[in-house]
Structure 1
Amino acid sequence: MEVNQYLEMFIDESKEHLQACSEHLLELEKNPEDLAIVGEIFRSAHTLKGMSATMGFEDLADLTHKMENVLDAIRNEKIKVTPEIFDVVFESVDHLEEMVMDIADGGDGKRDVQSTVEKLKRIESGETALAPITALSSAIAQQAATTISADLQLTYDDFERAVISQSIEQGFVAYEVAVTLREDCLLKAARVFMVFEILEKNGDVIKSSPTVDILEEEQFDQIFRVAYITKESAEDLQKKLMKVSEVEQVIVTAITDMNYIAETVPQQEDTSQNVSTLPAAKQEVGAQKSQVQTTNAKSNGHTSSKTIRVNIERLDILMNLFEELVIDRGRLQSISTEVNHLELNETVERMSRVMGDLQNIVLTMRMVQVETVFNRFPKMVRQLSRDLNKKINLEIIGAETELDRTVIDEIGDPLVHLIRNSLDHGVESPEIRRAKGKPEEGTVQLRAFHSGNYVFIEIEDDGAGINRDKVLAKAISKGVVTQEVANTLTDKQINELILASGFSTADVISDVSGRGVGLDVVKTTIESLGGNISIESTQGVGSVFSIQLPLTLSIISVMLVEIEKEIYAIPLSSIIETSIIRNSDILNAHNQKVIDFRGKVVPLVFLEEIFDVPRNEGKDDEFHSVVIVRKGEKLAGLVVDSFIGQQEIVLKSLGNYLSNIFAISGATILGNGKVALIVDCNALMK
């Protein structure tokens, strides 16, 4: 078997099992007497161990095995869970996650975990101060200790007997192979895999006892049997199998008499499992397998899975092809308008509707639940709470909210930074909270929800809030604002000063929150995604950090504008409205041209000056077209020559060579084949 073809599946499933371990461990920490939770963690660890051994990642399998031993001792009531044990098990899961990530990055998954292994061994042996726990009930204990038993006698149904009979007639030899592993064998599933790998190179495995799924779960003693068809001699087969490490004995018995084969037909469930072990049988074997599995699924009242795993690279390719279609759609619409042919117009209109539906489906396929990011935070909060000697409860709301995968990939680090900031600067210590009349345990709430074409992610804490005077004093000393400007700032503007580069109110720089860098990195990342961040805070009550993000980044709606003969695209998400103004409406304030827009003073930005657009001499229009854009609470008016109209466009990168052009976030190809640059409104308003 070529294991590399299963590597991606192994990585995905390993991450799922480790995430399940983390979630159940957090749950168990709150309910340490619940053995059912221990069983769930044990099953995830056990499956991960078998998978790792099968794939040849022995270090990963060995650490999981040691952790599994501790979990087994807990569920069999030999030891009692304590905070110290939780710390070691969490430490083990952290190591396992690092090893899986290393494998995902092309590494071998090796990591120095000797100290953790030693801790697990001491816990298992009872060397630490672990008190025996009182039995919850003899029934629970008995259930926890129960293992799956299996009758090792190989029995065959009519189909399997027919396969063996036909194989013998065609010159093959049929064997029953009994393999005994050593009693001290640690990774039984790995040895079973090695045995099957040897067998499958030179023949076909018809069935096994116990069944393959039980062998993978290691729910058997030392012996397993295999029905096998090959052209090899019994002696050669025995020699090859005895070379497998930790195999103690191999007995090969030839099946020559058809009456020797038992005619007992196993139960339907066993039949499906046994038939599914055929690795390389003939077409009729595969057909029978499919038929039996389908029948079994129906008989158990289950439906087949409605989901499949798709490599994200394939979705990226699909998205790129669809983006080309969007460009061609714009071209066809442009041609249709010029030609003004009835049937062509109808066809283009219908194609546009169909492509609109297709666009929704393609974008939906790329959507990922924010749960994939949120899942990492409970364990992080637990550890940081202990490091800071604080009691903090993390509440997660709206984890099922979906975002485009490209946004999901980028949003993780900013959220980590904000949550660390809430834990370090926001939530007070238990002593201070008691003195203020608050509960000792602080609460940090992480929530996500949709609103229009945006997703909002909010981090709220019930901590000390932002100290207005301290922030202002720091901002003035750092030169972020002057004393005169500071006197005019609103509370919201003062709060957002903490997003300035290098700003930090921490008396001692720690490794928990900003690390002396401030939150400007968070702000920059979010704005690069086309979003924005705002802060609301009440001193002594708490703070709310609100992040607004677009649902997708690849296809966006824009307003096309013209300056001389050049066309620019302004994202609709930044636009409040468009307006026509007279020269006489333009005022001067502090050497800046401004207008009065609905009672607010709005500065004007002449794009022809920003982008150095060459002007025709003597052109001095009385009227100007203005696009009013917003960034948070800031407004600006972008002055252009004329408006072309709204359009959906495909956002294309300018590449590394043109990556640092001021106020340009990308480009798009229009329906007439021309390239339009996309204006970065956030950069213009800094």
Structure 2
Amino acid sequence: MEMNQYMSIFIDESNDHLQSLNENMLRLEQQPEDISIVQIIFRSAHTLKGMSATMGFEDLAALTHEMENVLDLVRNDKLSMNGNIFDTLFKCLDALEAMVQDIINGGTGKGDVVELVQRLKEIVKGDAAVVGSAKATISAPASNVPASLVLDQYQLSVLSQSLDGGHKAYYIEVKVREDCLLKAARAYMVFDVLERNGEVVKAFPSVQEIEQEQFERSFSVYYISQTDENLLRDQISRVSEIESVTLNAVDRSSLEELGSAESAKDQAEERIKQTASTLSVAPITNASAPAAPLTDGNPTRPVAATAPVSGSAAPRTIRVDIERLDSLMNLFSELLIDRVRLEQLASEVRRNDLTETVEHMARVSADLQNIVLKLRMVPVESVFNRFPRMVRDLAKSLDKKVDLVIVGAETELDRTVIDEIGDPLVHLIRNAVDHGIEPITERNQLGKPEVGTVHLRAFHSGNHVFIEIEEDGKGINRPKVLETAVKRGVVTAEEAKNLTDEEVNMLIFAAGFSTADKVSDISGRGVGLDVVKSKITSLGGHVTVHSVLGSGTKFSIQLPLTLSIIAAMLIKLGSEKYAFPLSSIVETGSVKRTDIRTLHGNRMIDYRQSIIPVVSLAKLVDSPDYSDDEEAETEMLVIRKGDKVAAVLVDEFIGQSEIVLKPLGKYLANNLGIVSGATILGDGQVALIVDPNALIK
């Protein structure tokens, strides 16, 4: 079989399952007695094992198989979670992620898993003797149902609550024909019918064994549904190569009999496992439905406590290759350019039917633009969800207690921004945990809770997304920062005296700046923060810092919603055209030459009771056929970056337009950094897009 065509699907699915494993392991660490979480983890590990084996990645399959064995003991109350098991499983997840990353990078996906496999086997062996003894001494249940299909207390509770809620419970035995060649496929089709009409509580053999054709000719299930018995039997019988279907309704008396069998079994196990601690069962909180995901009888998904027993609708999402989305955006960009050109031609020709058609096309393309942009929008959750595990590991290695609180993970950003924002956030969060949050003893002395808190927030505001990282740690030490800044030549001693608190805080973004007494392999306050700032600036955003000594520090990052299509003001300089992003413009106006003053060699003007610098765009770009010194009065744009404002002198305004941002490539790399890209206008001309941040800088 040609596997390359399935590789991208395997990588996407593997990353999803690894993320689910990490998130649910963290949840289980907080609630080690919640069996429902173990069920979810087990299913993810099982699916990942099957995918890896199919694709031929043996090390991945071997490690997930051993993880399954441990999780199987836990979910069947044969083993209780402890610190050693958690640490081992987390190390297994790290190894799995490394192997998947190797596959992404074109490698073979091999890894050194011998030690981890051995540790998992030792965990299983530690309880294997007890499990074996228990099985040997359990007496036969007091029911005519096979011993292997006796329900545990949790499964009995699920059936009992379902009967109370008006649902029907069945014991179903399905037999396939003797000449059937694909038993597992027929069993899958039966389970598909069952899943569409209700929920499987328990299967014999287990779903995993049925998938691998490890059964003779029949399999049995306990099943909950609202479907009529005859209709259900008819639907299952329609599956080809099924010889017979036996349905027995389960009522209260049947449940009591099964319960007595389970009770006898529990007493026998308890006598043998006197020293073993067992997990308590998650309480049933809803009178009409299971309170937690069902057991391994369900081969597909967990069921929420309030979910109806009838099967849920099929997924309404599809995976789309990123390159296809990029291609769609480029094609739409060309369409947008042609639309502007048509609007221009229609205004010149002045034919009513042409004008109406162009206006309709403009409305349709505006709707299309919204859809295309929304297709590219991705929740920041895809970046945020890696941080809980990272904070857990960091806190453990630093012997600190840290709680990460995430708010606004559903906030959406353009995919191009999402791809770039991950690394800066990683560094800021590592910095917050390492240098912001104090050690436990120090927090106790200061009267703070011993568990430090790091808040990670995301929210929309206008055409921007704000991401904040705030911790309740020690804060930035102003005297120490100034002392280090002067020592390293970032500022002079004279300049240091006049700096505001915010300006002092921003000094930590200087290259190579660090106030750490010793270099840490985790982070150093300032080491790498210059990279964080430059990365965010390159995305058209900016970062600010607010800190209170002894109370904590807050980093606030402002980012544009999208980098592909922006609203801009078009201006002229002689025969040349330029574009300014509308989000950076405060206002437009005109200024007389006589109002421009020169202070210490810099040109300034009065603007709303303050003095702001004046920049000549013609001189900066060396415009060949325009000089702004010739006119008595000229147009100006007032632009803003953070709290800094400046005036830019231009020739004339063309008007506002939505433009498509095109990168310049390497040929025009040396442009003083004031040009961020280019766009093609409706008349076919190219206009350079000016970066207001670079102008103010």
Once the two structures are superposed, the pairs formed by residues 667-686 of structure 1 within 5 Å of their partners are 667-686=678-697
The Cα of 1:624 is off from its aligned counterpart by: 2.3
- Alignment partner of 2:558 out of 548, 551, 572: 548
Q: What secondary structure is seen at the aligned counterpart in 1 of 2:208?
A: coil
Tell me the distance in 1 between the aligned counterparts of 2:313 and 2:154: 32
Tell me the distance in 1 between the aligned counterparts of 2:233 and 2:99: 41
Q: What secondary structure is seen at the aligned counterpart in 1 of 2:209?
A: coil
Residue in 2 that maps onto 1:239: none
Residue in 1 that maps onto 2:254: none
Residue in 2 that maps onto 1:167: none
Which amino acid is 1:378 matched to?
A: P
Residue in 2 that maps onto 1:153: 175
Cα 1:7–1:211, aligned 2, differ >3 Å: closer, same or farther? farther
Residue in 2 that maps onto 1:601: 611
Residue in 1 that maps onto 2:209: 219
The Cα of 1:224 is off from its aligned counterpart by: 4.3
Residue in 2 that maps onto 1:267: 233
The Cα of 1:275 is off from its aligned counterpart by: 9.1
- Of 351-360 and 3-12, more deviation after overlay is shown by 3-12
Please say if residues 577 and 628 of structure 1, whose CA atoms lie closer than 8 Å, have aligned partners that are also in contact.
yes
Normalised to the residue count of structure 2, the TM-score between the two structures is 0.77
Tell me the distance in 2 between the aligned counterparts of 1:590 and 1:226: 94
Tell me the distance in 1 between the aligned counterparts of 2:679 and 2:581: 12
Which amino acid is 2:175 matched to?
A: Q
The Cα of 1:633 is off from its aligned counterpart by: 1.6
Please say if residues 515 and 525 of structure 2, whose CA atoms lie closer than 8 Å, have aligned partners that are also in contact.
no
The Cα of 1:611 is off from its aligned counterpart by: 1.0
Tell me the distance in 2 between the aligned counterparts of 1:223 and 1:115: 30
Please say if residues 70 and 124 of structure 1, whose CA atoms lie closer than 8 Å, have aligned partners that are also in contact.
yes
Tell me the distance in 1 between the aligned counterparts of 2:681 and 2:538: 23
Please say if residues 49 and 64 of structure 1, whose CA atoms lie closer than 8 Å, have aligned partners that are also in contact.
yes
Q: In angstroms, what is the RMSD of aligned CA positions?
A: 3.2
Residue in 2 that maps onto 1:395: 405
- Alignment partner of 2:519 out of 509, 520, 524: 509
Which amino acid is 2:370 matched to?
A: N
Q: Deviations over 1:239-261 (max 9, x none)?
A: xxxxxxxxxxxxxxxxxxxxxxx
The answer to whether residue 677 in structure 2 is matched with residue 659 in structure 1 is: no
| Fraction of identical pairs, as percent | 54
Q: What secondary structure is seen at the aligned counterpart in 2 of 1:581?
A: strand
Specify every segment of 5 or more residues in structure 1 that has no aligned partner in the other structure, as ranges. 132-136, 157-174, 180-191, 193-204, 228-263, 277-297
Cα 1:303–1:31, aligned 2, differ >3 Å: closer, same or farther? closer
Tell me the distance in 2 between the aligned counterparts of 1:512 and 1:391: 16
The Cα of 1:498 is off from its aligned counterpart by: 1.1
Which amino acid is 1:583 matched to?
A: R
Tell me the distance in 1 between the aligned counterparts of 2:491 and 2:112: 49
Residue in 1 that maps onto 2:139: none
Once the two structures are superposed, the pairs formed by residues 255-294 of structure 1 within 5 Å of their partners are 267=233, 270=236
- Alignment partner of 2:153 out of 131, 134, 139: 139
Residue in 2 that maps onto 1:408: 418
Residue in 1 that maps onto 2:73: 73
Tell me the distance in 2 between the aligned counterparts of 1:627 and 1:405: 31
Tell me the distance in 2 between the aligned counterparts of 1:58 and 1:587: 74
The Cα of 1:579 is off from its aligned counterpart by: 2.2
Q: What secondary structure is seen at the aligned counterpart in 2 of 1:645?
A: strand
The answer to whether residue 582 in structure 2 is matched with residue 560 in structure 1 is: no
Q: Deviations over 1:377-434 (max 9, x none)?
A: 0000000001111110001111111111111111111110110111111111111111
The Cα of 1:54 is off from its aligned counterpart by: 1.9
Once the two structures are superposed, the pairs formed by residues 33-182 of structure 1 within 5 Å of their partners are 33-126=33-126, 139-140=153-154, 153-155=175-177, 175-177=179-181
Tell me the distance in 1 between the aligned counterparts of 2:381 and 2:628: 59
Which amino acid is 2:315 matched to?
A: S
Q: Deviations over 1:618-641 (max 9, x none)?
A: 962111222111111222211111
Cα 1:269–1:412, aligned 2, differ >3 Å: closer, same or farther? farther
Q: What secondary structure is seen at the aligned counterpart in 1 of 2:176?
A: coil
- Of 503-512 and 381-390, more deviation after overlay is shown by 503-512
Tell me the distance in 2 between the aligned counterparts of 1:621 and 1:638: 15
Residue in 2 that maps onto 1:326: 336
Please say if residues 462 and 543 of structure 1, whose CA atoms lie closer than 8 Å, have aligned partners that are also in contact.
yes
Once the two structures are superposed, the pairs formed by residues 22-33 of structure 1 within 5 Å of their partners are 22-33=22-33
Q: Deviations over 1:427-459 (max 9, x none)?
A: 111111111111000000111111111111111
Q: Deviations over 1:283-322 (max 9, x none)?
A: xxxxxxxxxxxxxxx9945333322222222211111110
Cα 1:334–1:50, aligned 2, differ >3 Å: closer, same or farther? same
Tell me the distance in 1 between the aligned counterparts of 2:621 and 2:24: 56
Q: What secondary structure is seen at the aligned counterpart in 1 of 2:318?
A: coil
The Cα of 1:85 is off from its aligned counterpart by: 1.8
Cα 1:152–1:496, aligned 2, differ >3 Å: closer, same or farther? same
The Cα of 1:98 is off from its aligned counterpart by: 1.8
Residue in 1 that maps onto 2:146: none
Which amino acid is 2:675 matched to?
A: I
Cα 1:617–1:657, aligned 2, differ >3 Å: closer, same or farther? closer
Please say if residues 513 and 525 of structure 2, whose CA atoms lie closer than 8 Å, have aligned partners that are also in contact.
no
Q: What secondary structure is seen at the aligned counterpart in 1 of 2:175?
A: coil
Specify every segment of 5 or more residues in structure 2 that has no aligned partner in the other structure, as ranges. 132-150, 159-169, 193-202, 219-229, 243-307
Tell me the distance in 2 between the aligned counterparts of 1:330 and 1:271: 62
- Alignment partner of 2:591 out of 581, 594, 601: 581
Cα 1:219–1:591, aligned 2, differ >3 Å: closer, same or farther? same
Cα 1:20–1:539, aligned 2, differ >3 Å: closer, same or farther? same
The Cα of 1:208 is off from its aligned counterpart by: 5.4
Tell me the distance in 2 between the aligned counterparts of 1:370 and 1:269: 44
Residue in 2 that maps onto 1:375: 385
Which amino acid is 2:695 matched to?
A: L
